[in-house]
Amino acid sequence: MRTGIRRILEDERGIKVVGEAPDGETAVQWARQNEADVILMDMNMPGMGGLEATRKILRYQPHARIIVLTVHTEDPFPSKVMQAGASGYLTKGATPPEVLQAIRQVSRGQRYLSPEIAQQMALSQFNPADENPFKALSERELQIMLMITNGEKVNDISEQLNLSPKTVNSYRYRLFAKLGISGDVELTRLAIRYKMLDAGHF
């Protein structure tokens, strides 16, 4: 997918691809040594993932404009991503013209949300009965939830996030309490129910 997007961008006048990375850690390292006007960020990269990478890159490049590209259309992902400082949110079903439109719009200092995402976020305010329990999670809890449901172990998560295993477990049990569950299996079932996971992982 990264290769396909690169080809689309390289064929477009006025856009130059200055770098790419296979995972969150590499993306952060690249951003510490280089600059880009706009960064396309995959939410579901291996390792720390796009949400954490977005937060860290913005520490080194506060003026960076980051567009998150993801399969996740359900809130709270869009809300959490924008709260983390991203400038745009695109689904992986976006057409090449929409990707280019988002890049140009964000490069001008504006924000961009896929129309389906914007509509969903607006409608969710009027449907409290359908409230997603995952909205109660903090950014860090949501991030750890994604890593757990992706099969990553506590020690791996602690290493990738530079947290102690004890701290990761504290977040883990806190999100269990907020969701009213008691373990990883229940967490995965609940995440599937509320469409928090990429179906391609199962």
Summarize pLDDT for 85-127 with one digit per residue, the tens: 999 999 888 899 999 999 999 999 999 998 878 877 776 666 5
CATH 1.10.540.10 fits 132-201, yes or no: no
Top-level class of domain 2-124? alpha beta
Q: What percentage of the chain exceeds 70 in pLDDT?
A: 93
Report the chain's mean pLDDT, rounded to a whole number.
87
All residues at 6 or more sequence positions from 26 whose CB lies less than 8 Å from its CB, including other chains: none
The domain segmentation of the chain, as residue ranges, is 2-124, 132-201
Percent of the chain with pLDDT over 90: 47
Q: In what order do the strands lie in the sheet with 112-113?
A: 38-42, 65-70, 88-91, 112-113
Contact 140, 31 (CB under 8 A): no
pLDDT value for 80 = 83
pLDDT band (50, 70, 90) for residue 49: confident
If pLDDT is split at 50, 70 and 90, which confidence band does 200 have?
very low
User: Is the entire prediction scored with pTM above 0.85?
Assistant: no
Q: Which two tokens stand for residue 107?
A: 């490069």
